[in-house]
């Protein structure tokens, strides 16, 4: 599926004659179409007819449109937002292309070099650099679940055998679904096979042929929790936002790893509660604008175990606290 052909603004009358606000909205709409197409391609590469040449052409055209808008109205607050969105879509494509599921640790200052210096994302990465490093996670639709699973695995491999056994026993007691129990058993075996507490050995293991076992389990666990605890109204709202007819259809879609649906706040709340861990989300762009960037999700029981997520427009990476 390829979006409608976008007419470059500098070769059509629309970009030069339309009101800047209307033109900015048109660019935003085109970015939305392109994002939806990219997500579909990532979820099911075999069914996509979008080529590398198509992507480059669309990126170039939208980039030219933004440049025309900037020439016409440099004060438009939309320009930075559109530029950042274009960069983020390029990031998603690059991350999904050949990158590993879990990358090597990188400083946030280094990661900021991929953005324009004045962008909110670049400023946010620089502002958060004193607190965190980043473990890059592949942008394949599973980034939330993979980020949380890698953070959880990093916590569990440092526990004693007795502590891990108790953790899994307590976790298993929270659900009765037989298929979920099978996935928990596979996840537990995955943890026990983890080669080392050191990132140098753990990261290659997290990129092995078994790398999706934790993702599959966490998707199912989040949906099982929300099926029992989220309100019908909330689930129906999520269904409508995703073009689905019911809350149950939303849960089935989200739990299916082959659909690679993006998880968000509802799933984060569920994972924190079901896994018994704190999940701290740092919104990078909000940090760059000097706003309150941190959201904390906590389980009912008290715990010191915490996973940090670095959020950049529908993408999550794992944050590693600096000592």
Q: Domain segments of the chain: what residues? A: 1-98, 143-321
Q: With contact defined as beta carbons under 8 Å apart, do 182 and 213 qualify? A: no
The residues, any chain, with a CB within 8 Å of residue 101's CB and separated by 6 or more, are 137, 138, 140, 146, 206, 207, 211
* C-alpha dist (Å) from residue 318 to 32, 37, 167, 275, 280: 25, 25, 22, 17, 10
Instruction: Check residues 91 and 1 and name the one with the higher pLDDT.
Output: 91
Q: Is the pLDDT of residue 2 over 60?
A: no
Helix (H) or strand (E) holding 134: strand 132-135
**Statement: residue 8 has pLDDT above 50:** no
Candidate CATH numbers 1.10.10.10, 1.20.1300.20, 3.40.50.11540, 3.40.50.1000; the one for domain 143-321: 1.20.1300.20
Residue reference for tokens 């989200």: 254
Predicted confidence at residue 215, as pLDDT, reads: 96
96/234: higher pLDDT: 234
Reported confidence tier of residue 4, pLDDT bands at 50, 70, 90: very low
Percent of residues, the chain, with pLDDT higher than 70: 89
- Express the helix, strand and coil content of the chain in percent, nearest 5 each: 60, 10, 30
Residue indicated by tokens 């530029």 = 83
Q: What's the pLDDT at 3?
A: 47
**Residue 323 confidence class, pLDDT cut points 50, 70, 90:** confident
Evaluate if residue 99 carries a pLDDT over 80. Answer: no
Q: DSSP secondary-structure letter at 243?
A: T
| Averaged pLDDT, 124-142 | 94
Confidence (pTM) = 0.77
- The answer, yes or no, to whether residue 46 has pLDDT greater than 70, is no
């Amino acid at each position: 599926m390829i979006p409608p052909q976008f007419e470059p603004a500098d070769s059509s009358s629309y970009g030069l004659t339309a009101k800047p606000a209307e033109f900015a909205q048109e660019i935003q709409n085109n970015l939305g179409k392109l994002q939806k197409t990219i997500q579909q391609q990532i979820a099911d590469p075999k069914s996509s007819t979008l080529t590398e040449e198509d992507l480059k052409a669309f990126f170039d055209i939208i980039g030219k449109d933004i440049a025309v808008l900037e020439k016409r109205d440099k004060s438009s607050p939309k320009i930075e937002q559109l530029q950042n969105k274009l960069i983020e879509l390029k990031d998603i494509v690059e991350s999904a292309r050949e990158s590993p599921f879990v990358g090597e640790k990188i400083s946030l200052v280094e990661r900021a070099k991929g953005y324009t210096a004045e962008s909110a994302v670049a400023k946010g990465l620089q502002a958060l650099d004193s607190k965190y490093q980043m473990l890059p996670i592949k942008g394949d639709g599973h980034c939330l679940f993979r980020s949380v699973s890698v953070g959880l695995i990093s916590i569990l491999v440092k526990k004693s055998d007795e502590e891990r056994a108790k953790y899994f026993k307590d976790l298993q007691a929270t659900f009765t679904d037989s298929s979920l129990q099978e996935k928990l058993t596979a996840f537990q075996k995955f943890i026990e096979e983890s080669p080392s507490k050191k990132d140098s050995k753990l990261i290659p293991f997290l990129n092995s042929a078994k790398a999706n076992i934790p993702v599959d389990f966490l998707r199912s666990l989040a949906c099982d929790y929300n099926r029992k605890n989220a309100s019908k109204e909330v689930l129906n709202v999520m269904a409508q936002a995703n073009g689905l007819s019911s809350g149950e259809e939303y849960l089935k879609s989200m739990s299916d790893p082959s659909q690679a649906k993006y998880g968000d706040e509802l799933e984060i709340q569920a994972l924190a509660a079901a896994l018994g861990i704190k999940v701290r989300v740092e919104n990078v762009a909000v940090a760059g604008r000097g706003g309150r960037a941190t959201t904390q999700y906590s389980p009912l029981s008290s715990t010191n175990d915490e996973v940090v997520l670095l959020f950049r427009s529908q993408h999550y990476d794992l944050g590693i606290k600096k000592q």
